[in-house]
Amino acid sequence: MSSDHFSWIGGRLAFLLVSFSVGSVGDGLNIFQGIYLVGLGWNEGSVGVALSLMGLTALIVQPFAGNLVDVTPVDRRLFLGTAALMTAFSASAILFVHEGNTDHVLIYATKIVEGVASSFIAPCLAALTLATFGPDHFDAVMASNILWGHVGTSIAAVLAGIVAYSLYPDIQFCFLVIGASALLAVFFTQFLPQGDQLMGRGFAGTVAMDEQGHMERIHQNNQQAVDSTTTKNTPPEAASYWDVFFDKKTLVVCLTGFFFHFANANVLLVLGELMSGDDDGGVRQSAIPLTAGAIVLAQLTMAITTWAGDRLTVRGTGRKPLFLAGLLTLPFRCALIIWWKDAGDAFLLSTQVLDGIGGGLFGLIHPFLVADITFGTGRFNVLMGLTASSFGLGATMSNLIGQLLVEKFGHVTSLTCSMWLSVVPILLFGGLMPETLGQRGLGASSRSGSNLEAAVDETGAYKAIV
């Protein structure tokens, strides 16, 4: 089989399938578990603690996970497959929770496991994408990964909603759908190419795959560019952590993401609670399907927004206006939920379009910004981890404080706090963040546009044929 055929079958298609499979293990798993646990008799505070444990674990582990993904000689596909396997087993553990406000230790332990696993999934997938496609095609392929992740989340949510509704009141079996999706990711991970290990951490490389599966030579325009085919045992010196972490752009991205997730993470959970409760304080048969509908509507909107954002990026639209557009959706979403809280499920469900637009643009532009800031420094994945930790800290505080506000003061108070807090990231990013489009690597590499003969070794790594 030619290298081009291998590139397509083992490259873009494999990334698409892995992204599709791991897309189901994020918000959908958390929100379904939250509603199910409330139905078993857990109070909102206990649910908030359980969901916060995943975020708390992730925010501690993510920078270290990113750094490990950067510096390790171990195949990154091994980390990705292991993390997906951990998620699959953890998602199924909720089947063993009994009626009543009990079994806290089991759920708390599984959320910690999920926090560790999630810390490796995103940076590994991003690193393998950069290692395979290089800096010039990274944006387009990451956009495709993100889009198919949203599609995977939508399909998993639909299937989980159907299972929960069909088997009601035994709705816990819907979590097997999510576990099975994670196992699919384990299977498809073995078909991912390893690419150029050094380029995957943000150093310049010599050969990459384009979006059609052809190999290309990357011209090197500075003295730090390294031929990764000949210097695997002597990697170039990376930039200091201090220089990368305390760069103004890094700080702005971290603070913006922190406040956005602090305001945003609890909103979907509150929305699910508003749509799922019945007059007797229990959980309606339609609770999981309605929540699945909210997730599907948001994820489909995210998929469309990701596609549109990618097209706008190709046409030269900057990172800053797209990111700001995503941030601006949150205060309007909170206000609409408050206004329509008694208007019926259809009105509440429609607010998820704004969640899809905001989440879609945020999720798309985040890795672009990190790649812009770090390419050439060798610190791509550790900064992916640091920024993700900042976002996770905000989400953790949102789930914990937001649910405590619901328990003590009600849903409207919790949403009102989120609405006013959501103004902070808009002011931060709009006032302090410079445009980064076109600044990736400061000219460290550029695509030649010519094809290069290349081979793929038995590990899936690229080697130039000299």
CATH number for 200: 1.20.1250.20
pLDDT band at 252 (very low <50, low <70, confident <90, very high): very high
The count of domains in the chain is 1
Domain containing residue 307 = 3-464
Q: Which residue has the higher pLDDT, 256 or 190?
A: 256
Backbone dihedral angles phi then psi of residue 458, each to the nearest 5 degrees = -70, -15
pLDDT at 230 over 50: no
Q: In the prediction, which pLDDT does 293 show?
A: 74
| Distance separating alpha carbons of residues 52 and 127, to the nearest angstrom | 27
Of the listed ranges 13-22, 194-203, 313-322, the one predicted with least confidence: 194-203
247 or 176: whose pLDDT is higher? 247
94 vs 317, higher pLDDT = 317
Could you identify the residue written with the tokens 């999510």?
178
d(CA 181, CA 153) in angstroms, rounded, equals 9
With a CB cutoff of 8 Å and minimum separation 6, the contacts of 171 are: 36, 39, 163, 164, 287, 288
Torsion region of 276: left, alpha or beta (phi above 0 gives left; psi -120 to 50 gives alpha): alpha
Instruction: Check whether 250 has a pLDDT greater than 90.
Output: yes
Specify the pLDDT at position 329: 93
Is pLDDT at 51 greater than 50 in this prediction? yes
233-237, 275-279, 404-408: lowest mean pLDDT where?
275-279
Q: Band of the pLDDT at 276, cuts 50, 70, 90? A: low
Which among 427, 441, 429, 421 has a CA at the least distance from the CA of 319?
A: 429
Average pLDDT over residues 117-137: 86
pLDDT at 422: 92
Please determine, for residue 320, whether its predicted confidence score (pLDDT) is greater than 90: yes
pLDDT digits (tens, 9 = 90+) for 370-414: 988 988 888 888 998 899 888 888 887 887 888 788 878 888 888
pTM equals 0.77
Q: In 3-state terms, what secondary structure has residue 432?
A: helix
Cα separation of 257 and 265, whole Å? 11
Q: What is the rounded average pLDDT of the residues 455-466?
A: 49
- Among 323, 269, 314, 297, which Cα is nearest to 434's? 323
Q: Check pLDDT > 70 for residue 43.
A: yes
Write down the residue that tokens 């035994």 correspond to: 170
Out of 139-148, 184-193, 341-350, 383-392, pick the least confident: 341-350
